[in-house]
């Protein structure tokens, strides 16, 4: 995997400026949205298993909340820093606006490698981070969710710590302080698969528009965690053939195709990793990116399709399951090469849509059936895709810029209606 790192937040600004210029956005509102509202950095101590006290640095960036409470994931990874959190928080504002949700945008995380920690250490790190964030999160204020290397268990620890620090009376009406929770702790059926389901729903919409038969299509996936594995699961239901998968442990390829469900079961028993999966061949990162396939689903980290790697791609469509996998320079190369792209803010938006339905159920003390949740997610994703696609045609632009225009138009209208205090 490519590891060169540049400022993600600069990339967001390039994308933002392109759309704001094209739609001739109100200057004052453009100023507001070009900055983040709050940037919270906390340093906190944790007692490790060997008895030593270690200091950790955690981030929570809140970009904008004109449309509703801040919303966005928490990531545990050595690459987490303020710049990344600012970029990811800003993308959340666009994403929730594109999906038509009553949310703003936030993101955060802790800079460390969770694979080097025991479960006990992970729990203590998570609880101290939640405690350090204090009132900077809240069920009607800022609602975290899972992201890279965090999941339902992380959310359960955050929930428990948050509730334990509230007054008795507040505890039972604060379940919606985090989403992506385990089912018994107020999670919703369908949230686990929501993002992958949405990724494949947008691919199916694109395929219909571009006359690509998914039943005969081939694809490759980078990242086989929550988003990558569920995307592959739903691509199988469309009849598509998985040729290769890359994750942190290696790259596997099979000309005959890899069965996503078998790989999911294998990875579950192999600490989430795909290495040593039988009857496949190992290929290099460069070979992986150069494979001829119909669809490439990046579902790991940002900055993967760059000036150097975009010329290698041999696919018809890039469906951004991950956030920020494509740099602005690479976007231009893909466009010149006629490779389609479904942007992250649309492609993976079903994650936050699923979170919204979990949040609603918690607020109303309801439990919905899986089919109901999935049906509601499908409707919202298809509506968002249609809106972005229509906007792209109207402005004669790419889907990413169109998605930004949809989001910025919604935000601009809200600011114009409400004005600026005082
Ligand atoms: P995850 O932790 O479940 O999985 C991450 C995957 O990426 C793992 O398979 C890991 O092996 C792989 N990976 C990590 N480093 C890698 C490397 N250097 N090379 C190759 N593979 C590598 O995370 P996730 O929740 O699936 O998130 C993946 C992406 O999707 C992130 O960009 C995240 O922001 C985005 N996203 C997630 C959700 C969600 O609901 N979980 C929603 C929207 C967007």
Q: What is the pLDDT of residues 274-309, one digit of tens each?
A: 999 999 999 999 999 999 999 999 999 999 999 999
Q: Within a domain: residue 52?
A: yes
Domain end call among 290, 325, 347: 347
Going 355 to 68 to 149 to 117, the CA torsion angle's sign is negative
Same domain (yes/no): 319, 292: yes
Q: Within a domain: residue 120?
A: yes
Say which CATH number the domain at 152 has: 3.40.50.10860
Given a cut of 60, whether residue 4 has pLDDT beyond it is: no
Given a cut of 70, whether residue 96 has pLDDT beyond it is: yes
Q: Within a domain: residue 57?
A: yes
Rounded to the nearest whole angstrom, what is the distance from the C-alpha of residue 150 to the centroid of ligand 1? 10
Q: How far apart are the first and last CA of the chain?
A: 49
Q: What is the mean pLDDT of residues 12-27?
A: 97
Residue 141 CA: distances (Å) to CA of 64, 108, 381:
11, 15, 25
Q: Within a domain: residue 247?
A: yes
User: Kind of pairing, strands 317-319 and 250-258?
Assistant: unpaired
Q: What is the mean pLDDT of residues 299-321?
A: 97
Mean per-residue pLDDT of the chain? 97
183 vs 169: which has the higher pLDDT = 183
Same domain (yes/no): 120, 169: yes
Amino acid 70: pLDDT:
98
Q: How many CB atoms lie within 10 A of CB 331?
A: 23
Same domain (yes/no): 53, 178: yes
Report which ligand 1 atom has the smallest distance to the Cα of 227. Answer: 26
Q: Within a domain: residue 165?
A: yes
Closest CA to 22 of 411, 413, 417, 396: 396
Residue 412 CA: distances (Å) to CA of 30, 107, 202, 326, 407:
8, 22, 26, 26, 9
Given a cut of 90, whether residue 3 has pLDDT beyond it is: no
Q: Within a domain: residue 85?
A: yes
The answer to whether 77 touches 146, Cβ cutoff 8 Å, is: no
Same domain (yes/no): 212, 173: no
Q: What is the mean pLDDT of residues 366-384?
A: 98
Rounded to the nearest whole angstrom, what is the distance from the C-alpha of residue 225 to the centroid of ligand 1? 6
Report which ligand 1 atom has the smallest distance to the Cα of 300. Answer: 7
Q: For residue 52, what are the contacts with CB-CB under 8 A and spacing of at least 6? A: none
Q: In the chain, how many domains are there?
A: 2
Same domain (yes/no): 216, 316: yes
d(C-alpha 175, C-alpha 157), whole Å: 12
pTM for the whole structure: 0.97
Rounded to the nearest whole angstrom, what is the distance from the C-alpha of residue 247 to the centroid of ligand 1? 9
**Domain of 342, in residue numbers:** 194-347
d(C-alpha 50, C-alpha 33), whole Å: 45
Closest CA to 102 of 113, 110, 93, 111: 93
Same domain (yes/no): 178, 220: no
Q: Within a domain: residue 141?
A: yes
Which residue minimizes the CA distance to atom 23 of ligand 1?
A: 148
- Is 116 a catalytic site residue? no
Q: Within a domain: residue 384?
A: no
Same domain (yes/no): 132, 246: no
Rounded to the nearest whole angstrom, what is the distance from the C-alpha of residue 326 to the centroid of ligand 1? 15
**What's the pLDDT band for 20 if we cut at 50, 70, 90?**
very high
Same domain (yes/no): 181, 55: yes
Q: What is the mean pLDDT of residues 251-279?
A: 97
Rounded to the nearest whole angstrom, what is the distance from the C-alpha of residue 238 to the centroid of ligand 1? 22
Question: What are the structure tokens assigned to 34, written together?
Answer: 């070009």
Domain end call among 322, 347, 372: 347
Q: Which is the catalytic residue, given 107, 181, 241, 316?
A: 107
Q: For residue 422, what are the contacts with CB-CB under 8 A and spacing of at least 6? A: none
**What's the pLDDT band for 172 if we cut at 50, 70, 90?**
confident
User: Kind of pairing, strands 218-222 and 241-247?
Assistant: parallel
Is residue 155 lining ligand 1, measured as CB closer than 6 Å? no
Domain end call among 288, 322, 347: 347
Say which CATH number the domain at 285 has: 3.40.50.720
Pocket test for ligand 1, best of 297, 301, 353 (most atoms within 8 A of CB): 301
Same domain (yes/no): 169, 296: no
Report which ligand 1 atom has the smallest distance to the Cα of 348. Answer: 43
Is residue 224 lining ligand 1, measured as CB closer than 6 Å? yes
Report which ligand 1 atom has the smallest distance to the Cα of 323. Answer: 32
Same domain (yes/no): 254, 120: no
Amino acid 5: pLDDT:
47
Same domain (yes/no): 80, 173: yes
**pLDDT per residue over 217-233, tens digit each?**
999 999 999 999 999 99
Same domain (yes/no): 334, 209: yes
Is residue 358 lining ligand 1, measured as CB closer than 6 Å? no
């Amino acid at each position: 995997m490519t590891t060169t790192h540049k400022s993600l937040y600069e990339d967001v600004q390039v994308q933002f400026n392109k759309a704001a210029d094209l739609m001739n956005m109100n200057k004052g509102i453009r100023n507001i949205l070009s900055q983040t509202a709050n940037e919270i950095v906390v340093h906190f101590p944790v007692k490790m298993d060997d008895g030593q006290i270690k200091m950790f640095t955690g981030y929570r960036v809140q970009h904008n909340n004109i449309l509703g409470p801040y919303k966005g994931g928490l990531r545990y990874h050595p690459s987490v820093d303020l710049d990344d959190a600012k970029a990811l928080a800003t993308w959340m504002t666009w994403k929730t606006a594109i999906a038509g949700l009553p949310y703003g945008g936030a993101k955060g995380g802790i800079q460390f490698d969770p694979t080097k920690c025991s479960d006990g250490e992970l729990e203590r790190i998570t609880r101290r981070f939640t405690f350090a964030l204090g009132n900077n999160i809240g069920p009607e204020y800022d609602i975290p969710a899972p992201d890279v290397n965090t999941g339902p268990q992380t959310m359960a620890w955050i929930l428990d710590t948050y509730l334990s620090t509230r007054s008795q009376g507040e505890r039972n009406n604060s379940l919606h302080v985090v989403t992506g929770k385990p089912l018994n702790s107020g999670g919703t059926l369908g949230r686990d698969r929501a993002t992958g389901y949405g990724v494949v729903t947008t691919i199916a919409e694109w395929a219909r528009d571009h006359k690509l038969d998914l039943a005969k299509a081939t694809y490759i996936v980078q990242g086989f965690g929550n988003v990558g594995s569920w995307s592959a699961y739903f691509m199988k239901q469309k009849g598509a053939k998985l040729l290769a998968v890359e994750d942190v442990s290696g790259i596997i390829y099979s000309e005959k195709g890899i069965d996503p469900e078998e790989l999911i079961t294998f990875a579950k028993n192999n600490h989430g990793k795909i290495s040593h999966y039988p009857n496949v061949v190992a290929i290099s990162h460069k070979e992986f990116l150069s494979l001829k396939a119909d669809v490439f689903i990046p579902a790991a980290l940002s900055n993967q399709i760059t000036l150097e790697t975009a010329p290698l791609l041999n696919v018809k469509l890039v469906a951004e399951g991950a956030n920020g996998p494509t740099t602005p320079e690479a976007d231009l190369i893909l466009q010149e090469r006629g490779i389609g792209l479904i942007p992250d803010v649309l492609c993976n938006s079903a994650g936050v849509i699923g979170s919204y339905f979990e949040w609603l159920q918690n607020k109303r003390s309801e439990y919905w059936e899986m089919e109901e949740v999935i049906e509601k997610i499908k409707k919202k994703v298809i509506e968002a895709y249609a809106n972005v696609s229509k906007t792209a045609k109207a402005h004669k632009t790419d889907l990413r810029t169109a998605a930004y225009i949809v989001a910025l138009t919604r935000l601009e209208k809200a600011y114009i209606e409400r004005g600026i205090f005082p």
